Amino acid sequence: MMTIYQVLLQHRGPLLKFTLSLTALKSCPGIDQLIRFVSNNGIQELTLYIYKGGPYKLPSSLFSCQVITHLNLLSCVFKPPPGFKGFSRLLSLKLFRVVIAGVTISSLISTCPLLEQLTIQSSTGFDLLEIVACNLRCLRLVGFFSSVCFKNTPQLAKVSMHLESSLWNLVSEDRETSSSVMLTGTFPVVELLVLDYYHLKAMAAGGIPNIFPTTLTHLKILKLCLICFEKVDEISMACPGETLALDPVPEPLEVQG
């Protein structure tokens, strides 16, 4: 880690892009030092992936970086210091197995006014996710979300939601939890919708209410992952006019398996 830091010290001028991928978390002070250095040198694109030994608690220096435009994190603890007001220039945010409270991620989204792309992959899930993002165009959620509220997403055109097998088991076994899953808000310009088998199965079984409370009049592509179209029950489950409550079904609508 010190070798990387010494190399960075030889750099003159802004450091626009920095990627650090660690197979195992060993020296937190060393990582803190690197993050502090790049944060103080105009970092715009930061990727930090911890594959084993995490999660790694992000240092406070990261939250003072107001020129960052792309932030990608794997196995980190995201806990902003008091007074944190978001990232004013952030365009893309990707969080994979990041430890973060639902209220914190909702606040982060709302305080990144330029945010266009958002990816959240959680192995634990959230009780409430509130999305206020007037420039958001692409959203990908992987995990169990008890409630997702879209309050201001007028530009949202691509939505991908995956439940995955392990989380489907949680939903199907706990009826009280599954019945509380809700999605609210409006989606005026969604053109691409991606759902996986387990999300559709939960919806068809009544475990999850209709995923979209409004008619998807602009929908052009419906992509269904892990669906076997040779099985009658899965074909019925994937019927756009029933499971997704598309009335009328947008035309032309391309369905991909």
Each residue's pLDDT tens digit, 173-192: 554 444 345 667 777 788 99
DSSP 59: P
Structure tokens at 106: 């909702």
Quote the pLDDT of residue 25.
78
Q: Following DSSP, what letter does each residue of 11-52 receive, concatenated?
A: --S---EEEEEESS---HHHHHHHHHHHHTTT--EEEEEE-S
Of 230 and 141, the structure prediction assigns the larger pLDDT to 141
CA distance 158 to 136: 9
* Average pLDDT over every residue of 48-77: 93
Region 14-25 average pLDDT: 86
| pLDDT over 90 (residue 133) | yes
Spatial distance between the Cα atoms of 103 and 190, rounded to a whole number of angstroms: 25
* Residue 244: band (very low, low, confident or very high) from pLDDT cuts 50, 70, 90: low
pLDDT of residue 99: 93
CA dist 166 and 97 (Å) reads 15
Q: Lowest mean pLDDT: which of 126-130, 155-159, 209-213?
A: 209-213
Distance CA 172, CA 177 (A): 9
Whether residue 48 has pLDDT greater than 90: yes
Q: Work out the pLDDT band at 144, boundaries 50, 70, 90.
A: confident
**Per-residue buried b or exposed e for 56-71, using 16+ beta carbons within 10 Å of the residue's own CB:** bebbebbbebeebbbb
The string of DSSP letters for 86-125 reads --TT--EEEEES-B--HHHHHHHHHT-TT--EEEEE-SS-
241: which 2 tokens?
């006019």
Mean pLDDT, the chain, as a whole number?
Answer: 78
